[in-house]
Structure 1
Amino acid sequence: MFMIGKYVALLFAFLACASSADAAADEAFFESVASMGFANTGCGAEPFEALLEKHCVHCHGPEKEKGDLRIDKLSRDFKAGVDSHHWAEALEKVNSGEMPPKEEPQPTQDEIAAFVISLDSRLKDGRAARMAARPAVAHYRLSRTEYQNTVYDLLGVRYDPTKPGELNEDTLWHGFERIGSELSLSPSHVDRYYRAAEIVLDRAFPAASVEPLKVRKTAAELYPSGGKDQQAALDQFGIKRPLRRVIYPGSAPAPIALSPGWLGAGIGPIHSGLYKVRIKASGIRPPGGQPAHLRIGAMGEAEMPLGEGGIGIDITAPEDSPEVYESELSLEMPKTLGFSVVASDEVKGLHFRRLFGSTIFTHSSETSLLTSPAFPQLFDGKGNGLYSLVLLDWVEWEGPLVSEAEKSRRTEVLPPDDATPEVVAEHLQRFAERAWRRPVKKGELERYLRFYRTEREAGEKTADAYRVALLGVLTSRHFIYIVEGDKVARERLTDSELASRLSYFLWSSMPDDALFTTAKGGMLKRDGLKEEVDRMLADGKANRFLDDFARQWLQLHRVGMFPPDKKLYPNYEAWLETSMKAEPVEFFRELFAKNLSVDGFIDSDWTMANARLCDFYGLPEPKTGGFQRVSLKPEDHRGGLLTMGAVLGLTSDGTRHRPVHRGVWLSEVVLGKTPPPPPANVPAVEPNPPQNPKATLREKIEAHRSDANCAACHAKIDPLGLAWDNYDAIGQWRTREKVAAGVGEDPLIEPSGLMPDGRAFKDATEFKRLLLEDRDKVARAFIEHLCTYALRRVLTVDDQDDLQLIEEEARKNQYRVKDIVRAVALSDLMRKR
Structure 2
Amino acid sequence: MIRCFYSLPAILVASLSVSFADVVRAAEPFDLFLEKHCISCHGPEKTKGDLRIDQLSRDFKLGADAHHWAEVIEQVNSGEMPPKKEKKPTQEEIESFVTNLDSRIKEGRAGRMAARPAVSHYRLSRKEYQNTVYDLLGVRYDPAKPGELNEDTLWHGFERIGSELSLSPSHMDRYYRAAGTVLDRAFPVTSGEARKVRKTAADLRYNGGKEQQAALDRFGIKRPLRFLLFPGSIQNALSPNWFEKAGQEYSGLYKLRIQASGIRPPGGQPAHLSIGKRTGEETVDGILDMDITAPEDKPQVYEFEVLLEMPTTLEFCIVATDVVDRRSGAAFRNALSSRGGYIFTHSSETLLLNPNAPQMFDDKGNGLFSTVLLDWIEWEGPLETEAEKSRRKDFVPPDDATPEVVAEHLQRFAERAWRRSVNKEELDGYLQSYRDEREAGEKPTDAYRVAMQGVLTSRNFLYIVEGDPTAREHLTDLELASRLSYFLWSSMPDDALFSAAQSGTLNGEGLKKAVNRILADSKINRFVDDFSRQWLQLHRVGMFPPDKKLYPKYDRWLETSMRAEPVEFFREMLTKNLPMESFIDSDWTMANTRLCDFYGLPEPKTTRFQRVSLKPEDRRGGLLTMGATLGLTSDGTRHRPVHRGVWLSEVILGKTPPPPPANVPAIEPNPPQSPKATLRDKLEAHRNDVNCAACHAKIDPLGLAWDNYDAIGQWRTHENVAAGVGANPLVNPSGEMPDGRSFKDANDFKRLLIDDREKFVRAFIEHLCTYGLRRVLTVDDEEDINAIVAEAKKSQYRVKDIVRTVALSELMRKR
Partner SS state of residue 128, structure 1: helix
Select the residue among 612, 624, 636 that pairs with 1:642. 624
Describe the superposition over 1:679-708 as per-residue Cα deviations: whole angstroms up to 9, x where unpaired: 111111110001001001111011111101
Partners of 2:86 and 2:161 lie apart in 1 by 39
Partners of 2:49 and 2:98 lie apart in 1 by 21
Q: 1:801 to 1:333 in 2, by over 3 A?
A: same
User: 1:563 maps to which residue?
Assistant: 545
User: 2:320 maps to which residue?
Assistant: 343
> Where do 1:604-683 residues align within 5 Å?
604-683=586-665
Partners of 1:207 and 1:453 lie apart in 2 by 21
Query: Given residue 458 of structure 1, which amino acid in structure 2 is its aligned partner?
Result: A
Partner SS state of residue 163, structure 2: coil
1:103 Cα deviation from its structure 2 partner:
1.9
Partners of 2:310 and 2:281 lie apart in 1 by 21
User: 2:122 maps to which residue?
Assistant: 140
User: 1:322 maps to which residue?
Assistant: 299
User: 2:385 maps to which residue?
Assistant: 403
Query: Given residue 269 of structure 2, which amino acid in structure 1 is its aligned partner?
Result: Q
> Where do 1:202-217 residues align within 5 Å?
202-217=184-199
Describe the superposition over 1:589-625 as per-residue Cα deviations: whole angstroms up to 9, x where unpaired: 0000000011011000000000000000000001111
Instruction: Give yes or no for the alignment of 1:271 onto 2:253.
Output: no
1:267 Cα deviation from its structure 2 partner:
7.8
> Where do 1:426-575 residues align within 5 Å?
426-575=408-557
Partners of 1:301 and 1:616 lie apart in 2 by 25
Q: 1:600 to 1:362 in 2, by over 3 A?
A: farther
Alignment check: 8 A CA contact 1:501 1:790 kept: yes
Query: Given residue 316 of structure 2, which amino acid in structure 1 is its aligned partner?
Result: F
Select the residue among 334, 341, 344 that pairs with 1:354. 334
User: 1:817 maps to which residue?
Assistant: 799
Point out where structure 1 has 5 or more consecutive residues left out of the alignment.
1-41
1:370 Cα deviation from its structure 2 partner:
5.2
User: 1:190 maps to which residue?
Assistant: 172
Describe the superposition over 1:435-483 as per-residue Cα deviations: whole angstroms up to 9, x where unpaired: 0001100000011011111112222222111101100100000000000
Partners of 1:544 and 1:360 lie apart in 2 by 48
User: 2:240 maps to which residue?
Assistant: 260
Alignment check: 8 A CA contact 1:364 1:383 kept: no
> Where do 1:584-623 residues align within 5 Å?
584-623=566-605
Cα RMSD after superposing both structures:
1.6
Alignment check: 8 A CA contact 2:348 2:361 kept: no
Alignment check: 8 A CA contact 2:226 2:345 kept: no
The number of residue pairs the alignment matches comes to 788
Partner SS state of residue 624, structure 2: helix
Partner SS state of residue 274, structure 2: strand
Instruction: Give yes or no for the alignment of 1:112 onto 2:90.
Output: no
Partner SS state of residue 502, structure 1: helix
Q: 1:267 to 1:448 in 2, by over 3 A?
A: closer
Alignment check: 8 A CA contact 1:361 1:367 kept: no
Q: 1:371 to 1:220 in 2, by over 3 A?
A: closer
1:238 Cα deviation from its structure 2 partner:
2.2
Partners of 1:562 and 1:365 lie apart in 2 by 39
Alignment check: 8 A CA contact 2:225 2:345 kept: no
Partners of 2:59 and 2:104 lie apart in 1 by 9
Alignment check: 8 A CA contact 2:678 2:731 kept: yes
User: 2:360 maps to which residue?
Assistant: 378
Partners of 2:199 and 2:289 lie apart in 1 by 19
1:236 Cα deviation from its structure 2 partner:
3.3
Instruction: Give yes or no for the alignment of 1:694 onto 2:676.
Output: yes
Partner SS state of residue 53, structure 1: helix
Select the residue among 738, 746, 749 that pairs with 1:764. 746
Partner SS state of residue 527, structure 1: helix
Alignment check: 8 A CA contact 1:245 1:360 kept: no
Instruction: Give yes or no for the alignment of 1:239 onto 2:221.
Output: yes
- TM norm structure 2: 0.95
- TM norm structure 1: 0.93
1:737 Cα deviation from its structure 2 partner:
0.5
Instruction: Give yes or no for the alignment of 1:306 onto 2:297.
Output: no
1:356 Cα deviation from its structure 2 partner:
1.6
Partners of 2:467 and 2:347 lie apart in 1 by 73
Q: 1:371 to 1:490 in 2, by over 3 A?
A: closer
User: 2:13 maps to which residue?
Assistant: none
Moved more, 670-679 or 337-346: 337-346
Describe the superposition over 1:467-516 as per-residue Cα deviations: whole angstroms up to 9, x where unpaired: 01100100000000000010111111011000000000000000000000
> Where do 1:784-823 residues align within 5 Å?
784-823=766-805
Select the residue among 154, 162, 165 that pairs with 1:172. 154
1:410 Cα deviation from its structure 2 partner:
1.2
Partners of 1:243 and 1:824 lie apart in 2 by 58
Q: 1:360 to 1:644 in 2, by over 3 A?
A: farther
Alignment check: 8 A CA contact 1:155 1:410 kept: yes
Partners of 2:112 and 2:722 lie apart in 1 by 56
Alignment check: 8 A CA contact 2:226 2:374 kept: yes
Query: Given residue 183 of structure 2, which amino acid in structure 1 is its aligned partner?
Result: L
Partners of 2:501 and 2:622 lie apart in 1 by 39
Partners of 1:692 and 1:582 lie apart in 2 by 41
Describe the superposition over 1:158-190 as per-residue Cα deviations: whole angstroms up to 9, x where unpaired: 000000000000000000000000000111001
1:397 Cα deviation from its structure 2 partner:
0.5
Describe the superposition over 1:614-664 as per-residue Cα deviations: whole angstroms up to 9, x where unpaired: 000000001111100000000000000000000000010000000000000
1:44 Cα deviation from its structure 2 partner:
7.4
Query: Given residue 324 of structure 1, which amino acid in structure 2 is its aligned partner?
Result: V
User: 1:425 maps to which residue?
Assistant: 407
Query: Given residue 424 of structure 2, which amino acid in structure 1 is its aligned partner?
Result: K
Partners of 1:147 and 1:377 lie apart in 2 by 52
1:265 Cα deviation from its structure 2 partner:
4.7
Point out where structure 2 has 5 or more consecutive residues left out of the alignment.
1-23
Alignment check: 8 A CA contact 2:212 2:344 kept: no
User: 2:267 maps to which residue?
Assistant: 288
Describe the superposition over 1:556-609 as per-residue Cα deviations: whole angstroms up to 9, x where unpaired: 000000000000001100100000000000000000000001101100000000
Query: Given residue 735 of structure 2, which amino acid in structure 1 is its aligned partner?
Result: G
Partner SS state of residue 455, structure 1: helix
Query: Given residue 327 of structure 1, which amino acid in structure 2 is its aligned partner?
Result: F
Partners of 1:152 and 1:45 lie apart in 2 by 64
Instruction: Give yes or no for the alignment of 1:366 onto 2:348.
Output: yes
Partners of 1:371 and 1:159 lie apart in 2 by 47
Higher relative contact order (CA 8 A, sep 6+): 2
Select the residue among 166, 173, 182 that pairs with 1:200. 182
Q: 1:43 to 1:119 in 2, by over 3 A?
A: farther
Q: 1:382 to 1:124 in 2, by over 3 A?
A: same
Alignment check: 8 A CA contact 1:662 1:721 kept: yes
Partners of 2:366 and 2:35 lie apart in 1 by 77
Partners of 2:45 and 2:344 lie apart in 1 by 76
